[in-house]
Every structure is written in structure tokens, then in C-alpha cells.
Structure 1
């Protein structure tokens, strides 16, 4: 059906356009628009694993830009990421140190607290892993950022800058000391403000108060003063006293000096460094803002009025409550203590930095003397007020006060006041000041318990106060109280050591003169020998200190100590229970040095020293040191003695001691070896039936030590004056030992024969018994050694030393060598063929020594007689090798004799 005319017109209807309306879209237009959504990738997967990265795959290049991002969270992530990266890869700290300091160091002044704390943790890791030599070129940048943080407009940043300062002070104290001038000034600016100077005022600085600050005034000032105290301690340690290592404050934190190894470079390189722009700064160079000398004096002059103002403010109102008389509020005691500690260090620094006349200290003390006495000593000593009864105090404030009161005691505050005011005692004429300080120190000495820190402070105050106080009665009373506390202290306690050092400094220092304390000084030195046995096992350091004090006092001829040592040395040197053999070698040397000054040596003491020389726990070095000390003492007594009779007595005692050292038998043996038995010698008709049996059982260590001692004894014997006239001492000592039929150790025989050449004048025909004993010993040694196979190393060394000893003894005295060959000739008349062979071998061995060229003429006659006797009694021996060796050696002796006679003609 066809459309109607009306509908046909609707299909082609004209669109009417109106003003302000959009044109309709065509029906045949395709809409090609589309919408998209952005996908944010938080972490990209990286295929490059060569660079070190964190657990989130971020390397150093990704983390450094984050440190300068505008977002707080991104900066925080950057700093924590750097810390993680440095922890996982410590080697990157050295290689990336410059960029880390450049990018991350400004964040110590970031406006966000979390970022600042994260930055502090990062640099704590970096600084503790970086030596001073590497951080020193960057330290000016560190110092500049630290100064900016300390003087920042925001209190939070200033507060956190103190933690950065603590970190730098703990890790690089020397660099802080060399750049301390600006830091000290910044500390002053943190607690003070400029004011208009009026007539009569000494300074234009006054304490600053910030009512809108969230930190309390006292806590803020306490923190600043504690940092000034630490910095002054570093200055005193590294700059003014020039020490390599020292403790810092009560914490006992020690620093070690930086050791710089000089490097050798080409001259061209060294010359280029001297040009402007290339000159290297020395680590020990003083910065422009040095605090030494006049600059430090100006700093002290500016700081002292502020310290006094802090003290006065603490003594004034505390809220609505007034502190009266000598009571101090718990909230103020910490600031007051820090004020005193800073003042004390200022005196010490000025005293060390000024000239020998201490003009700086005297000038500042003189200008503030009245002010100090008025503010510090008016209500001295102080007590801490109990805040429990204050109703208006909040619970938090009460807990804070209680915590501060538990940390700082009234004794600590009062002793700090004494430390400061002691510097004024020497310059002031006010006896009241000395009396107040002295009475309180006596009261402290009478207290039952004092902590180690307070005991250390008290000892330091006493050491200075006793040297500057002019009241002799007060000094005597204080020394008596201190000696009583020293006697009551435990031998191993720190307090015992402190007072031991105190009395040593007071009594032995030549610059210190304490009148009316002679009796107390004697009482102190008498306790030292009795104290030593109680500490040598548990505390070697304390024992070393006691020995050092004893040695110093003995050198100054302290009679009470020497009298006590004269009786106590017997127990000290006991080889069984004495402490000498159980202590270290250094301590043994110190005790022997003290022994040098003992007035009299008894026979019992000399016997104890002889046993000590050969004790197993005493090394050969210590034994030689003992011999040297006694020899030096003997020479001193001989040179200083006037009476000849006393000279002879001392010489006789000394010779007896030396000979006793040679005759001591060691107690450490090795298993027996094969040798001729005494029974076989008797059956053979050997000459040794009247001689002592030789005990060869001695260890190689003991033999080595004994030979060293014998050589040193012989060296000292040669230096004894007119030793040849004292042959009676040798006869009375050696004859009973060498003639008894008991066992005698080979070490004793060795020492006996070895020293005979020193007493060769005593070996003559008048001393028949001694020469006979010596000849028998030499024959026994020679025959024993030729029959023994020396497969062991120690026996080989022993035989070598003995052959040398026997040969020297026979050659030294012609009368002895003649008797030796006569005794061999007599032996061949009654012995067996085996013994005769042994005797021939021993004679051959002695003739083979080169020193036999000096044999007397009678030796040839004795050798001919021995040869005839062998041919007659033992014809079977003539064809053996031992007979051929004997004939060959005899011919050599005859040829040497003929050559010598022809040369003389």
C-alpha cells in the first residue's frame, strides 16, 4: 500500500535551526570516539642484575632522585632505601660517599620529623663504616649543614641537630675538635639572645626564653649544656693535652688516635699539590675557627655569665613554689649539675691552653670570684627537694621530676661545686671557702657507700684540693679520712685503685709537699706488701700498679716500705706458695727491681733467691735479671763501704750466693739412659769408688737454662775484686759436695768444673783435696761420655758442652792436667781391659781439642808413661783402633811442641 502524502512529507521535513542550540548529528555519521584508563606500574621488572639493589629492585640511581622529591613519603622512601642498600652492600659506602652526602645530607633540615630520623639512621650507618681519612675532605660540608640545622628557625630541627652532633662527636672527635669554634658559638646562640648593653654590664648576652616552644626551658638548656660538656671534653683530650687515647667523661668512652701513614709520591705530583687550589688539608691542621688560645678565652668569657644566669634561674622560682635555703627542685638539679661540669671543664681547658703562669684562669676566676662565692657557696651543701607533696603538680611532671632526681644525686651536685670552687682556693684569701669545701669532703669520705663515678670525682677533687689548701690541720684531717677509706675498701675494688693512685701522687711527687702527714704516709706504704698477695691472681693490672708504686717508693728510700719488704719477701719469693712464681714476667721484673733497695739480705733470703733462679715457672730472662740486680747491688755496697772487714763479709756472702746458683739440682728429669753403673766401676777397680755418682737425668730445657745461668755467673765472678784470695770459700763449698759418695746432678758438676778457671789460683798443691776431687770428676765425665751413644739431641748438646768444659778446666791449670794423666796412669795398673780402652779413648778425645797446644812439657812424659803401661799390661790393645788414635794424637802433641820450641829459638 502506498504511503500517504502526509508521511512522505515527514521524511523530507526541513530541520528548523535555532540560535544558541547545537546542530543535531547526522544519522549516517559513525561515532569513532573511545575512552581509555591509565594503568600505573608501581614497580617495573628489571632484567639488569649487575647493579646492587634493594629488595624492591631499586639501585642507587633510582633512590638518589627520591631524596629531593617534593613528596614527604617519597623522600622518606628514598632515605630508607639508601640505608637498606648500604646495609646489604657495605662496599658501596666508600664508592658512593660523595653523592650520598650531597643528596641526603640536606635532609637533616627536612620539615618532616620522620625524614630527619631516617636520615640520621642512614648517616649513622655511613659514619660508623667510614674512617676519618675518607670523611675528612667532606667534613666542611658536614659542618656547614650541622651549623645550619643548629641555627634553624624551627625548634624541632634545632633539637634533632643535637643528635647529629652526637653522632659526629662519637665517630670523628678529632675533626670536631679541629672545627669546634663555630659549633661552640652556635651552642651559645641556642640558649641566649643579644641585648642592649648598659653601663656596668659585662656581656650583651642573656638567656633566651621561648614561651611558645614545646620543649621545656630546663630540658632544652640541659641538653645544650650536656653537649657543650662533651665538646669541651673532646677539646681537652685531643687539642689541649695532645693525647692519643683518653676516656671521655663518666661513660668511659675511649677514642683511638688516627694514624696517618706517609706516602711517597713523585716530585711532580707533590709540587702540583702545593699550588693554589690543589693544596691538601692536614687532618691535624687547625681550622680558621679554632677554639685554642685567645678565641677559646673569648668563648669562656661569653659563656660564664650565661652559666651563672642558668644557676640563678634554677635557684629562683619553680612555678608557684619557691626553693629556699639549700633545697633544689628535682627539675633544676640536672641543669645545675651541667653548669658545674661545664665550668670545671672550662677551667681545665684554659689551664691547659694558657701559658705556664695560668693567667687566663686566674684572670677569669678573679673577675668572677665574688659572684661565684655568692651564688654557689651561700647555701652549700645542697639537698634535693621532695616533690611528692606538691598537690598542684601534674602526674607527668611528677614522674619527670622523680626520674631526674634518681639520675642526679645531691652528692654529685655538691662534688661538682667543689670541683669548680677548688680552683679558687689557691688564689683567694677566704679561709671560709677552704673550710666549707674541706668539711664536706671529709663528710663524703665518712659515707658508707659511694658509687664508682662519685668515688672517681672525689679522688680527683682531693688530689687538687690537698695541694692548694693552706690549712695544714685541715689537710691532715682529710688525709687521715682518705687513708681510712682506703683501708676499708675491697682490694679489688675501683675505689682501692683510685686512692692508691691518689696517695702515690701526693706522697711520691716531688712537686707536692704535704706537711704533718709523715706518719700517715708511712702507714700507707706499709700496707702495700700485704695488699699484693690479695690481688695478683684476680687483677693483674692492680698488682702491676702496686709493684710500680713499691718500686717508686723504694727508689726514694721509703724506710717503712723497705722494712716491711725485708720480712715479706720471704713469703713473696716462696717457690711453693709464693706469688712470684705465679705472676707474669713483667710483674716479676718489677718485684726484682724493688728487691734492689732492700737494706739487708739475710741468709734465708739468699737461699730463697737461689731456689727461685732454677724454678720452672721462672724464665731464664727473669733469672738473669735477678743475677744482674744482685751484682749491681753488690758493687754499690762495695763502692759505698769504707771498712775492709765489711767488704770481705759482703764479698763472701755474694760468692756463696753465686756458687749456690751453680750447685742447685733441677727437679725436672727425663728417663734414664744406658751408662756404666757404679757397681761395674767398683768391680773394675775404678778410681770413682771415692767420688760422687753422677746423675745424668736432666731435661734439655733445664740444661739450656742452667748453661745460660752459669755463663752469667762466670761473667759476674770475673768482676769480683780480688777473687783469687778467696779460695777458702771455694774449698769450703765444693769439697764436701764433690767428695761425698751420693748422687750429684750433672748440672752441678758442670757449674763446678766451669767456674774452676775463675778460681785457678786456688787450685794448687796446697789444696790437695779439692784438686783430687776435680781430677776424679774430669776422668769420670770423660770416660762416661766416650762410652755413651748420643743419639738424642739433648744428650748431644750436653756432651758437647761438657767436653768443652772439661778441656778448659784441664788446660787452664797445669797442675790439674798433670794430676789427670797421673791418675790415668794409676788407673791402668788395676783396671780391666775394657776400662783401659775407655780411658785411652777419653785421653784421645781430650788431646784432639785445639786448646791442647798450650799443654805443659810434662804432658809428653806422662803420655809416654801411659803408652808403656798399656803395652805392658794390655798387649792385645796395641793392635786396636783406639791405640792407633792415641799414638796419632801423641805424635801431634810432640810435633806441636817441637815447632813451638824452634820458633822460640
Structure 2
């Protein structure tokens, strides 16, 4: 062994050595600044997608199987793969596998890993966006089942993330489908997320529970998050029922007042049940369910407010308390809307009477106090600058709490439609607040002005008959301020705010009793003089035109004088005028004749013969001939 090793050493030394100069220090470095190009094999790219006919079924099956894999990585990769395929526009081939696909994606809402749950929500959002509603409808029960399981899960983290799944459904699923299929069950689960029953009975009293979150948010914030989603669900119920309500006129017979009926009335089928025909106090199944919502929700909403309500030593609201108040009064308004829709559909007042009997007094004590001393609410000024994440808080309502206060005004009018002397101080307080709010119109957003009009309507129109008996002077001042703001064009035209104010004033004018009690021509003079100017705009509403006809039939001299003054401009503009509303489908000349008919009454004040001069100057034969007939008709 030793000799063999020595022989190798001698052979190694005998090799010829190449001698040369060594590289300077620092140059013996591998160069990496060269450019490379990625090698792409087109066949591999086609094979990985779902578009190739040969590989589509296999790859789709692998993806569906990986959605149920025990590994979190495999599940999240499968969800990303489905999402990427949908974003690239390859959703057609999924139609035959929607059941398995919805099962696999929706099951991610119950995953123990938060990352997998987040991926499932993102993928479901993309899938629902790519599919038509009629394709989703047969499988919606799968998503709804997993949603209910997530909302009632034993782990608080999964319950909290179930709200994100609901956000996807609220954004992507049509309201009618969501309301029709599972809204009633989801509402029950919402109630369970913030409360528990004191007894086994479903309709028994419930008590609020503590925070379900992971300690990062307070109990108030958690409940506000839950109630915000509940508000959206109730909003879908309200919007889905709006199209079902018929527009037939219902007259409640009163032997003490004159009744007016249509001369021609189509034969209508009576869809009421036997109990409604016999006037028996029995609610329908829908009415009983609605009553259950109210019985469970209203006490919880009031208890939730009582926990954050400000104390006398600190009357201002914190930001969390303001957000809680905003969602609580919004939910109560939605419940009232659902009751109003149900009663209009079934021709009954039973639910609203029951609600006022049991909850009106508690509402005043908890939100206003008997004399209204707790109202209006304001928020503590925010001294510190908000972070970008907190910019535009959606539910705090601002420092003046304008949406909350306006909603409380409207709710009070719903709870007390026939106010008496005992509520004089309370309603005087509310009317005074509304007049102060009108002074801030220029600083309000269109949404806030819509809330303002919604609160003005019950005060000035729906409940005005009883309110004029107890707060006549403040209410009349509020009407004057409203007319002044409308004529001064302080109401925005966005979102139809100015149109709603116009319709409100026109309805008041059409009611001769309110028109007279508010002061008649003297009170409405500026509005009546402004009305003919609306006929010079590109469009005029059906309700506006109907109110003008009523004023002419009442021989209102203020309006007819203003109409005569604007007659040349009105008649010359008539060919360009469009009528919107119920008569939108009529012939244009029929609507033009309705405007010309106004001058039949106004001709009594035409001492200078303006109308006859206009009739001779007109270019249109149809308009000129009809105006001549109107002027000369006796």
C-alpha cells in the first residue's frame, strides 16, 4: 500500500507545470451582469389552463378534488386557480360543475385557517360576478346553508368572518333572490349573534351578549358591525317588496265624511283571506313573521342604545355611540317600512296599531325623554386627525349627528300619528329643530337632504292635521322656511331632492283643508308665483301638473296671475316640454293640451287680451287651434 502511494506522488511531481501571470486581486469574479430570457413552452401553458379540450376535464377535476384536500396549501392553491381561471374569462365550462364548485368554495367559510376563509370569500365574489343570476339561483341554498353554519359556529373567529361572506352576497346577489330564499332565517341568526334567549321560548325576552370578537374590538363595535349587515338585509326585503305593491286606490269608509269614488273602476279580484274579509284580527303568515322580528329586535335595539346612551354629566356622544345610534334608528325605520308595505298590501292597520301600543312610550323615554330634553344629539368633536383607514366613517353621522336626529323625528311621527296636548312640548321641540336644520341646507350632502325631506313630510302633510291643533305657530313657520328654501333653490337637484320637496308642497296645495289652515294664498304666495316657472324647464312632473290643475279649479288668483304673466314664454316653450310620471307614455299633444287647459280658468283674469294675441302669433296649427278653442269655450 505504501509503495503504491509513493509511486503516485512521483508521477504527480513529474507532470509539466504551466506557468503564467496571476490575475490581479478582485478580477477573479464570475460575471452576472448578462441578460437572460425566460424559456416559454406554449404547450405547457395551454395544458395548465382549462381552455384546452384535451386537458380541461382532468384539470378541473383535480381542482375540485383539491378544494377538499386536508392540506391548507392545496386548498388555497385550488381557490386561487379557480379565481385566476375566472378572471381570464373561462367561466363557460364551469356551468356543468357548479354544484361541486359552490360546495367546495362555500365550505371554505368554515375552514379553521383564516387565510383559507379569506381566499374562499374572494373566489366566491369573482364567481358570482362572472355568472348570471339565473345560473346561481338553483345553487343558492348551498351558499345560504354554509352562511348559516358560519354565523352559528362555535368558534368566534368563524362567526366574525361570516359577515364578510354576507358582504359578498349583498353585493353580488340580486336583492329579490336574497330576500326570497333565506332572509328570514338569516335575520334569526343575526339576532343570535348579539343576544341569547332567556328561556326556551322563541318569542321570550332576549338579553344582549358580550363581544364575540378576538379582543381587538369593543362590544359596541362588534354589535354595530352585526347590525349594519342586518340593516342591509332588511333593506333588501324593503326593496324586493316595492315592486309587488299594487297602486290601486283603497278607500276606508267613514260615514261622518264625504266619500269620493272613481266613476270607472276595473273589476279587481279580492286576494284577501277569509279573516280579512270578515274583519277578524288574525295576521297572515307573513304578518306573524314580521311581528316576530319586531318583538325580538326592538327590545334589543333599545337595550343596545341604553348601554351607550350619554349621561347628564356628559351629554355628547362618543364616535362608537354615534355609530350605534345611527344603525339602531335606521333599523327601526326599516321595520316601519316593512310594516307599512305589508299593511298596504293586505289592507290592514293591525301591525302598526300593535307596534304603537307596545313600544311608543318606551321609544320616547329612551331616545327623547318626555319633554324632548335629550334631543338633539351631538358628537364629541374629533381633535385628533383621522388616519386614512378611518376617513369618512360610514355610520357616525358627523359631529352634528344629522342623520340620527332626522330619523328620530320621522320615527316619532310614526309612533304618534295623532298627537295630543300631552305631546305639545315634545313636538314643539322637534319642529324647532327642523327649522334650525333648514338653515344648514347649503352644507348638507344630497343624502342628508333626502333625510330632511323624509322628516318634513310627516310633519307638514301626514300628521299636520293633529299637529296644527297643538303647535300651529311653529309648524307654520317651518312651512314658510321650507317654501323659502325651495323658491330660493337651496335644495339640490341631485338624487331628486328638489322634486320631492315640490311634490310635498303640491300635495299640500291639493288638500284644501291643510291649504286653508296653513294660511292659504297668503302663506303659499311665493310658491304659487314660482310654479309657472316650472313650465319653462325641459321636463315637468305629473304631480306638479296635477297640482296646477287643482289650483286653477280652485280659482287661485295668485297662481293664475303668475301663469298669465308667464303665458308668452310658456306657450312658446310648449313644443319642447316633456311630462314625466304616470302620463309619460301618452302622446305629446295630449300632454300639451293639459297645459293649455290651465288657461281656460286663467282667462278670467286676462283683461288685456294676452291670450288672444298669442293665439294669432303661434306657428303651430295644433296648439293655436286648441288654444283658440280653450279661450272661446263657454
Q: TM-score range by the shorter chain?
A: 0.7 to 0.9
What is the CA distance between 1:226 and its match in structure 2?
A: 1.5
Choose the corresponding residue for 1:224, options 210, 223, 226: 226
Q: Which residue number in structure 1 is paired with residue 380 of structure 2?
A: 385
Distance 1:501 1:400 in 2: 36
Distance 2:446 2:404 in 1: 15
Distance 1:372 1:158 in 2: 31
Choose the corresponding residue for 1:343, options 332, 338, 363: 332
Structure 1 residues 124 and 554, CA gap change in structure 2 (3 angstroms): farther
Structure 1 residues 419 and 508, CA gap change in structure 2 (3 angstroms): same
Structure 1 residues 424 and 610, CA gap change in structure 2 (3 angstroms): same
Q: Which residue number in structure 2 is paired with residue 126 of structure 1?
A: 127
Q: Work out whether 1:305 is the aligned partner of 2:299.
A: yes
Q: Work out whether 1:434 is the aligned partner of 2:427.
A: yes
Q: Which residue number in structure 1 is paired with residue 206 of structure 2?
A: 205
Unaligned runs of 5+ in 2: 1-41, 247-283
Q: Which residue number in structure 1 is paired with residue 571 of structure 2?
A: 573
Q: Which residue number in structure 1 is paired with residue 560 of structure 2?
A: 562
Contact 2:509 / 2:547 at 8 angstroms: preserved in 1?
no
Distance 2:624 2:111 in 1: 70
Deviation by residue 1:609-653 (Cα, 9 ceiling, x = unmatched): 444344xxxxxxxx536635654675xx33xxxxxxxxxxxxxxx
Contact 1:136 / 1:175 at 8 angstroms: preserved in 2?
yes
Unaligned runs of 5+ in 1: 1-42, 245-289, 317-321, 615-622, 639-905
Q: How many pairs are equivalent?
A: 520
Choose the corresponding residue for 1:328, options 317, 329, 336: 317
- 1:271-310 → structure 2 map (5 Å cutoff): 292-310=286-304
TM-score, normalised relative to structure 2: 0.73
Give RMSD over aligned pairs: 3.8
Q: Which residue number in structure 1 is paired with residue 5 of structure 2?
A: none
Q: Which residue number in structure 2 is paired with residue 605 of structure 1?
A: 611
SS of structure 1 residue aligned to 2:196: strand
Q: Which residue number in structure 1 is paired with residue 195 of structure 2?
A: 192
Deviation by residue 1:163-199 (Cα, 9 ceiling, x = unmatched): 322332332211221132111111101110122599x
Deviation by residue 1:193-215 (Cα, 9 ceiling, x = unmatched): 122599xxx94311110377333
Deviation by residue 1:91-150 (Cα, 9 ceiling, x = unmatched): 234343223112222112222222222222222222223333332222222221111111
Deviation by residue 1:573-624 (Cα, 9 ceiling, x = unmatched): 34xxxx345555977764542221213276543443444344xxxxxxxx53
SS of structure 1 residue aligned to 2:154: coil
Distance 1:502 1:592 in 2: 25
Q: Which residue number in structure 2 is paired with residue 419 of structure 1?
A: 410
- 1:819-830 → structure 2 map (5 Å cutoff): none
Q: Which residue number in structure 1 is paired with residue 141 of structure 2?
A: 140
Contact 1:218 / 1:331 at 8 angstroms: preserved in 2?
yes
Contact 1:497 / 1:542 at 8 angstroms: preserved in 2?
no
TM-score, normalised relative to structure 1: 0.52
Q: Which residue number in structure 1 is paired with residue 500 of structure 2?
A: 498
**Structure ID, larger Rg:** 1
Distance 2:337 2:356 in 1: 12
SS of structure 2 residue aligned to 1:527: helix
Structure 1 residues 396 and 590, CA gap change in structure 2 (3 angstroms): closer
Deviation by residue 1:795-845 (Cα, 9 ceiling, x = unmatched): xxxxxxxxxxxxxxxxxxxxxxxxxxxxxxxxxxxxxxxxxxxxxxxxxxx
Contact 1:491 / 1:531 at 8 angstroms: preserved in 2?
no
Distance 1:176 1:296 in 2: 17
Distance 1:557 1:609 in 2: 23
Q: Which residue number in structure 2 is paired with residue 80 of structure 1?
A: 80
Contact 1:333 / 1:384 at 8 angstroms: preserved in 2?
yes
Distance 1:414 1:563 in 2: 41
Distance 2:319 2:392 in 1: 5
Structure 1 residues 145 and 612, CA gap change in structure 2 (3 angstroms): farther
Q: Work out whether 1:99 is the aligned partner of 2:100.
A: yes
Distance 1:471 1:50 in 2: 70
What is the CA distance between 1:73 and its match in structure 2?
A: 1.4
Contact 1:293 / 1:353 at 8 angstroms: preserved in 2?
yes
What is the CA distance between 1:510 and its match in structure 2?
A: 7.2
Distance 1:496 1:551 in 2: 21
What is the CA distance between 1:428 and its match in structure 2?
A: 4.9
Q: Which residue number in structure 1 is paired with residue 161 of structure 2?
A: 160
Q: Which residue number in structure 2 is paired with residue 66 of structure 1?
A: 66
- 1:8-87 → structure 2 map (5 Å cutoff): 52=51, 59-87=59-87
- 1:566-715 → structure 2 map (5 Å cutoff): 566-574=564-572, 579-583=573-577, 590-598=591-599, 599-600=602-603, 604-614=610-620, 623-624=621-622, 627-628=625-626, 630-631=628-629, 634=632, 637-638=633-634
Q: Which has the higher mean CA deviation after the structures are superposed, 133-142 or 207-216? A: 207-216
SS of structure 2 residue aligned to 1:64: helix
What is the CA distance between 1:438 and its match in structure 2?
A: 1.2
What is the CA distance between 1:446 and its match in structure 2?
A: 2.6
What is the CA distance between 1:305 and its match in structure 2?
A: 0.4
